[in-house]
């Protein structure tokens, strides 16, 4: 049995995508517009949002900064007014900077945590009460396979994604019995402006369009965790189950670090 109610028909479904100006969020917007969803798009980049909205044949543009607490309730209210309500929210905004342990600095640490973790939690706080009052809705948290276990060059990014995985699990325990579905998306390597910063070979790299299709396909099956590409993500899941001594040896051998 699926852990969520499958979403197969997006016609006139009211959808808010946070982090929609580029990457997976932008590709999701185009894919869902093609399927008939009514969209509201948010990010800091107003021009980027407007360009994506045009590709969608028209969508509400609601600029916001997820690191600003006051922006969450304000943007959520604007989205509900623009769409006449809210059925599905994608929390996709995120930032990534490859970092080793000796490269940590306070400003980058705070910026990454504020965007990747606090920005999602505060966003959920802004939309869940209305969904609970109606007894329906869906929250989609975009994490990463970097949250499965410690990986080199992800000294801050990885821990924020691990926390998001835990947070999504808590949300499902709390909300699903009350009518609100929770989906967790854990992509592997996807060709986005963020991963362009990587200076190493990214195994099983896929396009943002393919990522968007896989997310929609997973939601159609009602899956709690949607992870892809599976040939890569399943290998990481299995590696994370190894005793730590073996896991560390494997990661060092594979990465050469």
pTM of the model: 0.94
Nearest to 54 by CA among 20, 78, 8: 20
Annotated catalytic residue, options 96, 148, 157, 247:
157
- Please, which residues have CB within 8 angstroms of residue 234's CB and are 6 or more apart in sequence? none
The helix-helix angle for 119-134 and 71-83 (nearest 10°) equals 40
Q: Residue 142 and residue 225: Cα distance in Å, rounded? A: 10
Check residue 81 and give its pLDDT: 98
**What does the pLDDT look like over 204-219, one tens digit per residue?**
778 999 999 999 999 9
The answer on pLDDT for 194 being more than 80 is no
Give the domain 14-255 fold. Answer: Rossmann fold (3.40.50)
Confidence of residue 201 (pLDDT cuts 50, 70, 90): low
Query: Where are the chain's structural domains?
Result: 14-255
User: Is the CB of residue 198 less than 8 Å from the CB of residue 98?
Assistant: yes
β-sheet bridge partners, residue 60: 40
User: Is the CB of residue 20 less than 8 Å from the CB of residue 26?
Assistant: yes
157 is catalytic: yes
Q: Residue 213 and residue 56: Cα distance in Å, rounded? A: 16
- Please, which residues have CB within 8 angstroms of residue 10's CB and are 6 or more apart in sequence? 32, 35, 36, 37, 216
Q: Residue 241 and residue 250: Cα distance in Å, rounded? A: 12
Query: How many other CB atoms sit within 10 Å of the CB of residue 8?
Result: 12
Check residue 257 and give its pLDDT: 75
Percent of the chain with pLDDT strictly greater than 90 = 87
Nearest to 230 by CA among 217, 246, 247: 217
CA atoms within 13 A on the CB side of 69: 1
């Amino acid at each position: 049995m699926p852990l969520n109610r499958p979403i197969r028909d997006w016609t006139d479904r009211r959808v808010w995508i946070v982090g929609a100006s580029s990457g997976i969020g932008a590709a999701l917007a185009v894919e869902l517009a093609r399927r008939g969803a009514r969209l509201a798009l948010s990010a800091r980049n107003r021009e980027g949002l407007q360009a994506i909205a045009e590709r969608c044949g028209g969508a509400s543009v609601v600029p916001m900064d997820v690191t600003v607490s006051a922006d969450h309730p304000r943007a959520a209210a604007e989205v509900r007014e623009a769409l006449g309500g809210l059925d599905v929210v994608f929390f996709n905004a995120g930032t990534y900077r490859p970092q080793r342990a000796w490269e940590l600095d306070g400003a980058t640490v705070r910026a990454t945590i504020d965007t990747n973790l606090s920005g999602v939690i505060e966003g959920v706080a802004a939309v869940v009460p209305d969904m609970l009052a109606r007894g329906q809705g869906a929250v989609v948290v975009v994490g990463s396979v970097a949250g499965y276990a410690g990986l080199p060059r992800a000294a801050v990014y990885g821990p924020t994604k691990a926390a998001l995985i835990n947070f999504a699990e808590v949300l499902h325990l709390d909300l699903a019995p009350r009518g609100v579905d929770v989906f967790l998306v854990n992509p592997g390597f996807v060709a986005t402006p963020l991963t362009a910063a990587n200076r190493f070979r990214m195994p099983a790299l896929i396009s943002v369009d393919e990522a968007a299709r896989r997310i929609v396909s997973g939601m159609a099956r009602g899956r709690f965790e949607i992870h892809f590409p599976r040939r890569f993500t399943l290998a990481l899941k299995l590696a994370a189950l190894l005793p730590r001594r073996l896991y560390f040896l494997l990661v060092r051998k594979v990465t050469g670090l």
